[in-house]
Each structure stands twice: as structure tokens, then as C-alpha cells.
Amino acid sequence: MTTLLIAEHDNTSVKDATARALTAARALGGDVHVLVAGKDCGAAAAEAAKLDGVAKVLHAESDALGHQLAEPVAALIVALAGPYDAIVAAATSAGKNVMPRVAALLDVMQISDVTAIVSPDTFERPIYAGNAVETVQSGDAKKVVTIRPAAFKPAEAGGNAPVETVDASAAIAGKTAFVGAELVKLARPELTSARIVISGGRAFQSAENFRKYLEPLADKLGAAIGASRAAVDAGYAPNDYQVGQTGKVVAPDLYIACGISGAIQHLAGMKDAKVIVAINKDPDAPIFQVADYGLVGDLFTILPEFEKAL
């Protein structure tokens, strides 16, 4: 059994989600090779080689791979797929962009958002917004799998794998072209890999309140900030803060939900947090059913007191 893990990177360093997907890839058994495909991405390839459990890094360089568009990356993966039994990536925006294309080109089904590896051909994945766990057995000769990062611990550093340059001529630009990227520069930890997440909901009433009450607390706690969809839809928080079924799935050590009712679609994104704290003025809010600690009260009073106490 040999697995090809597709690294997610910014040409300089490898994302935490890849270290988590590596843990899952190793659970399949056999060797794991990591593909680092990009432009001037030697530093990312060297970093991938240091992850514990990597047998080899495949380093692909091409202008067409500079922005890691789905078409050239998928074409490259398919060209390299021959010797591999499984092709694995994290179920992030990047992985979800490329892997369905790979599966279609290989004419196999994709096994999406896997939360546990039962055996090399059998996987667990959540369905119905996390309310049921499906066990999927695949008879495909090649498994194309995306991994839910929050379900796996990141592989540690400590490896020293060889880096092999591979022919990237299959990575041909398709019909899509890179136009631009507007990136939010975060001083705080990234939402999906943060140890602590503090999230706000509709209760904040404005973007100004959202920032005023959550940011100082997040900075003191070293936490990432999340939001309910209601808060995002109302414009209180940017789209990439959204936690839940149609947002990001997080599993931090501590999740603090402030003024969030606990709709099932929100719980789908955070209920695997180790410790959940809920602050809500309604004692019957559903969030208290999943909370380890609940504080009933007005967040506009509680949050400043909390910050002062820190």
C-alpha cells in the first residue's frame, strides 16, 4: 500500500491541515509520499520532508502550478497516480477544489470528509450535518480521499525524507486563470488549527460590537475568532469566520460560544471541541445541551468582566 498525500502550502510552508491529513494517510498503512506542487516551492517541499512518517517528497515546479488552480494540479496528480493505491488531501477549500476533479479523471468515487480510517478500504464520515456517521467501504482500485483535519492530530516534525524532483509537464493550465486574491492578514491563530476559539453570534447586534467585545478577549486568550452564520450574514464578521455545516469545522481544546443559540448547523462545526463554554441570556438555548460550562447572562456585561479577570 502506497499513498500519495497532496500537500497544501503557500509555496513557502506547509499548512497544519496537511500534517493532520498525514496522520490519516499513515493510518492506511504502507508508505506515504507527499506531493508539493507549486512555483518556487522548494522551502515547502523541504518542510514536508521533515514531517514524521513521510517516506518521500515529490517536488513539482511549474508556472502553471503557481496558484495551485484545480485544473493543472489535478492533471499532475493524475499523471503521477499510477503506482498509488490511495490519494489523500485535507478536506479544506484547497483539497475540496482539486480532489473531485482527480476522482472524476480517474473514474473513481471520492470518499469525502473522512473522520476515521477503519481499514485501507473502509472509512467513517459524518452525514446529515454530523448527526450520523456513515461507514463507507470502497471497491475502487484507487481511493481518492479527503480528510477532515479536525478529526486527526497533526503529525509531528522529526522526519528526514528524501525530496525528489518530478516532471511537472502534465500540469497544463486549463480554462481557468488566476485573477487575484484578497487575503485577510491574521495576527491571531488560524481558525481550524487554533487551540482556543471564541465565537460570536447574532446577539452582538453590530460589526462594531463584535470587534469591540471579542477582539480584546481573543488577544488575551491567544484565540481565533469564529462566528455563527447569522453573524456573518448580518455583516458582523467576515465570511471566513463562519463555523458550522456550511462554514469551517473546528475541534479546539476550548470553544467559547457567545450569544449563539446552538442551531444544529452551528453544532456541526464545533461539537467535537474538548471543552465547550456557552454564554447566553436564554437559559433554554440549545447550546447549553452541548456545553460543559454554561453562563446565563448578558454578554455585554459578562465579556468585559471576563476580559478584566484575565
Ligand X SMILES: Cc1cc2nc3c(=O)[nH]c(=O)nc-3n(C[C@H](O)[C@H](O)[C@H](O)COP(=O)(O)OP(=O)(O)OC[C@H]3O[C@@H](n4cnc5c(N)ncnc54)[C@H](O)[C@@H]3O)c2cc1C
Residue type for position 304: P
Report the C-alpha gap between 131 and 129 in whole angstroms.
Answer: 6
Binds ligand X by CB under 6 A, chosen from 216, 281, 290, 295? 281
The grid coordinates listed for 198 are: 471564541
* Binding string, residues 39-58; x marks residues near ligand X by CB under 6 A: --------------------
Binds ligand X by CB under 6 A, chosen from 77, 203, 250, 256? 203
Which is closer to ligand X, CB of 167 or CB of 292? 292
Judged by CB under 6 A, which stretch of 5-13, 146-154, 189-197, 256-264 contacts ligand X?
256-264
Judged by CB under 6 A, which stretch of 6-14, 69-77, 93-101, 259-267 contacts ligand X?
259-267
The grid coordinates listed for 47 are: 518542510
Min dist. Cβ of residue 246 to ligand X (A): 4
DSSP state of 14: B
Of the candidates 89, 90, 10, the residue with the CA atom closest to the CA atom of residue 45: 10
Binds ligand X by CB under 6 A, chosen from 202, 211, 212, 271? 202
Q: How many CB atoms lie under 10 A from the CB of residue 60?
A: 26
Which is closer to ligand X, CB of 107 or CB of 284? 284
Binds ligand X by CB under 6 A, chosen from 130, 189, 201, 252? 201
Site for ligand X in 290-309 (CB under 6 A): 298-300
- What are phi and psi for residue 244, nearest 5 degrees? 140, -170
Min dist. Cβ of residue 252 to ligand X (A): 16
With contacts defined by CB under 6 A, how many residues of the chain interact with ligand X?
A: 27
Contact predicate 266/290, CB 8 Å: no
- CB burial readout 262-293, b (16+ within 10 A) else e: bbeebbbbbbbbeebbbbbeeeebbbbebbee
285 counts as binding ligand X under rule CB under 6 A: yes
Binds ligand X by CB under 6 A, chosen from 38, 53, 244, 252? 244
Report the C-alpha gap between 53 and 67 in whole angstroms.
Answer: 27
Min dist. Cβ of residue 154 to ligand X (A): 24
Contact predicate 171/60, CB 8 Å: yes
Residue 5: which H helix or E strand, with range?
strand 2-6
Report the C-alpha gap between 40 and 11 in whole angstroms.
Answer: 6
Min dist. Cβ of residue 303 to ligand X (A): 9
Contact predicate 82/167, CB 8 Å: no
Site for ligand X in 211-240 (CB under 6 A): 228-231
Binds ligand X by CB under 6 A, chosen from 282, 293, 305, 310? 282
Binds ligand X by CB under 6 A, chosen from 261, 273, 278, 306? 261
Residue type for position 93: S
Residues that bind ligand X (CB under 6 A): 201-203, 228-231, 242-247, 259-261, 263, 265-266, 269, 280-282, 285, 298-300
